[in-house]
Structure 1
Amino acid sequence: MAAQPPKNGAGRGGKPPGKDSQPLIIAKTPAEEQRLKLERLMRNPDKPAPIPDRPKDWNPRAPPEFVRDVMGSSAGAGSGEFHVYRHLRRREYQRQDFLDKMSEKQRSDLQYLDKVEENQRAAQERTAKRRRKRDKLKQKKLKAKKAKEEEAGKEGKSSSGSSSSSDDDEREADDDAEAPSFIMGKK
């Protein structure tokens, strides 16, 4: 029995049947390259997109434990020894610069955290001060209200000349219970 070729002709080109062949497009600009990548991702939206990990911070190589026979850049060193000395010196300077930058970064981070803490403390102090002021105003209003009720009760019993003292008390209570300065626009 002879093998029959596929009816749709998909098996001849070496590609699996059912796959659409995409023309090869070479990106000429970075924008076009980005567009092609997005189109490829959007062909199959169910497939998760690869997200690369964040690059690790660069760390310099550790200083050598023991350097053998390095004469330095002075007279008497061999022709190849100077290059060894120069590379070791460059690496050491690079390592010291890295350590300096790391200590500077740590110092600035600590300063930032201290400043944030100080700002929070100052905000809490302002809030507490305003809370005390509000409570004080409430207490004065309550005292004025109680005094007014007592005066009204006394006047009901005796309507003699104590009305002038109650007017003075009311004026004092109104003066003491004036609105906070930040509402009135005063400093």
Structure 2
Amino acid sequence: MSERIPESVPTSQHPSHSTSRPKKRALSPSSATAANISHLFAKPDAALALANSASSSSPAYSAAPPEIVANVQGSSAGAGSGEFHVYKASRRREFARLKAMDEEVLGEKMEEEYEKEKREREERDREATERRRKKREGRRKKGKGGKEVGGDEGAKVGGMKPRADVVMGEGGAGGVSVAPVLEAAQEQGLIIHDDD
């Protein structure tokens, strides 16, 4: 780029290229959806081609068998006759119809089994929850009436535990005496004597 002539200016930096052509960038999912919606609202009177919801949920071959069958073979149709292809097509349609019916029955059976298992599972869960609830209530009642849950026998004296160095005498709070103080035992450990 020694000179400032049009041939020496790179194409990407040329002023005519930057204004005439916008840069294309990959669309994010939200901007792609916004572009689709703005495209649809640009022509509000135009007809929309929507996917048929009934065909997507039904099996592949959901047409009812025809009331009138147009191409019925005669009993004299032999091998190599022109009605062979008609026979093959009707046979294929019939097999597709039977397969669709079998798949529908299988799907209904699987759905019934799933619903039955789901009901049984919910019933087991409900029973287990009820058992646990009764057990919790029993523990709660037992804790209020007598022994505290996780507490010691006789620990509840005015809502507090007695001190460790105070021993309760007979008759509850009547005979209070102080427990003898014990001397701490000497620590046992490894003693190393240096031979200097």
Classify the TM-score, shorter chain: 0.3 to 0.5
Q: Which has the larger radius of gyration?
A: 2
TM value normalised by structure 1: 0.46
